[in-house]
Amino acid sequence: MNNLKTERHGRVVTVRLHRPHVLNALSTELLTELLDVLRPLDADPEVGCFVVTGSERVFAAGADIKEMAGRTAVEMAAEDYFSAWEEFAGFGTPKVAAVNGHALGGGCELAMMCDVIIAGESATFGQPEIKLGVIPGIGGTQRLTRLVGRAKAMDLILTGRTMDAHEAERSGLVSRVVPDDQVLPTATEAAATIASYGRPALTAARECVDRALETGLRDGTLFERRVFHALFATEDQTEGMNAFLEKRPASFKGR
Ligand code: CO8
């Protein structure tokens, strides 16, 4: 494990990207390690939430430019370069990004693959790939546009400029902006709260919210209603509602 540091506290697993000499550039090796570490944890019912973070200076400065620079189009296509990020995006475990410093290119795209983004006041976000003669390639043109809208996405992607944390929050990219030294504590607290709830309801909520980005209102609300109905087949629904009526904390079992 050269590129990551992992800690587990209760039901929360925190993964820290650790390639300081290249500002946490997202190499294939780092991605492979990330997936190898998180895959078994994603299948572990005792794990309720992941926190992904970087250092005080940088979340991640994008894909590893040195690794990519000499590649040909044929090689990129043959390897389906970076398709493996889809596995990270698709993990069933909720993910909170704790962002200090730069979240650029693939770093911004990694944050957008998380369900919640907590950013420090000094964090910066952007998709500067145009400056390298390419475009975002890990979902940036799609996720950024869905999150901040076409006008802002075009501005960021075509100019390659960065936005500060407050603009990112106003634009709908970031969930909360907090003082820099509060990023990890806030993200960890949010993750612990999320991890205390039942997985069936969390999965339902995540799928319904994400569905809103992909479907019309009529289909989306129907999907939501059917999923809502289905949750009444879970023990967690019975427990959650009974606990409320009995004025006690709920104890969810994820069933
Ligand atoms: N990849 C590799 N090395 C990097 C990267 C990177 N993305 N970013 C920084 N580094 C290295 C630098 O080369 C430098 O190394 P060295 O010390 O050996 O010269 C070291 O990290 C420190 O960087 P700087 O000296 O540049 O630090 P500064 O504080 O001056 O600047 C910045 C910080 C502004 C973050 C600057 O490093 C920068 O602009 N980095 C590149 C940001 C970028 O362009 N990111 C997008 C990359 S492309 C991408 O993510 C999408 C790819 C899509 C893939 C598609 C697949 C199908």
What confidence tens digit (pLDDT) does each residue in 195-240 have? Answer: 999 999 999 999 999 999 999 999 999 999 999 999 999 999 999 9
| Predicted pLDDT of residue 157 | 98
Average pLDDT over residues 9-30: 97
Ligand 1 centre and the CA of 86: distance in Å? 22
Rounded-to-integer distance, Cα 65 and Cα 73, Å = 15
pLDDT tens track for 173-196: 999 999 999 999 999 999 999 999
Q: How many H-runs (helices) and E-runs (strands) does the chain carry?
A: 12, 10
Residue 124, ligand 1, Cβ within 6 A = no
pLDDT tens track for 37-62: 999 999 999 999 999 999 999 999 99
Rounded-to-integer distance, Cα 146 and Cα 202, Å = 21
| Predicted pLDDT of residue 213 | 93
Residue 68 CA, closest ligand 1 atom number: 54
Contact 63, 138 (CB under 8 A): yes
Angle formed by the axes of helices 235-245 and 199-212, to 10°?
100
Give percent of the chain with pLDDT exceeding 70.
100
- Confirm whether 106 is a catalytic residue: yes
Q: In which band, very low, low, confident or very high, does the pLDDT at 1 lie, cut at 50, 70 and 90?
A: low
pTM tops 0.85: yes
